A = this chain, B = another copy of it.
Amino acid sequence: MQQVQALLFDVFGTVVDWRSGVIRDVTAVAGRAGAPLDAARFADQWRAGYRPAMDLVRSGQLPWTKLDGLHRRVLDELAGEFGLAGLPAAELDWLNTCWHRLDPWPDAVPGLARLRQRYVLAAFSNGNVALLVNMAKRAGLPWDAILSAELFRRYKPDPQTYLGAVELLSLDPARVMLVAAHNDDLSAAADLGLATGFLPRPAEHGPGQQANLAPTREYTVVATDLTDLATQLGT
């Protein structure tokens, strides 16, 4: 752990609270349209559609598509189902960028600020570069670099994303730690020799969340949140 020099952060769920942000913005859009809906269900279905859309890219059925584009594919399907199909185009465009306007968990900015004093901090996300840049500016996330999956035109958990980030940092894998609230992401990183830091985000999926409440294998560090991680990493 002493040898770690850079921290890669999963973003959606680990650093920012996507569910509350999507609920907030779809509620605003539906309110303006006079078309009330179950905003929590909308948010959950939008997020649930992301993995199958991404898998179309990962399997080669769809050419490389930025996450903004995948979000839009799912949104266009959901809009009909939730009575938003008649929205003005500008409203749908704005709603699709709600993923750029997500709020950080309360511990995220203070934790990252402390960690940044000693480590290189990079966003390491399937979010595209513009999404992550806009999010960081709005939320005050103090990244040293944006190492988006878009740089590699591969989505996590493709090994080329983890190894690509490590190569761009000019470090050995053991000197780079992936920090995430998701066991599948951490497991892929651990298999490639990266250090790993798990923290649970029990409210990520709202009440009743079952997955990722605890580590499912041994990680380099297990923390309660990002300020606890900062403490455990000596900052």
Contacts and interface: CB of A to CB of B under 8 A. Distances in A.
Interface in A168-194: 168-171
B66 A129 contact: no
A137 B171 CA distance: 17
Nearest to A146: B145
Interface residues of A, number: 20
Nearest to A120: B133
Contact of A130 (B130, B134, B151, B169): B169
A53 B173 CA distance: 28
Contacts of A145: 129, 133, 145-146
A175 B193 CA distance: 41
Contact of A128 (B66, B120, B134, B170): B170
Interface in A158-212: 168-171
A68 interface: yes
A145 B150 CA distance: 13
Given A120-B134, A151-B168, 6 more contacts: A68-B170, A129-B168, A129-B169, A146-B146, A148-B168, A151-B151
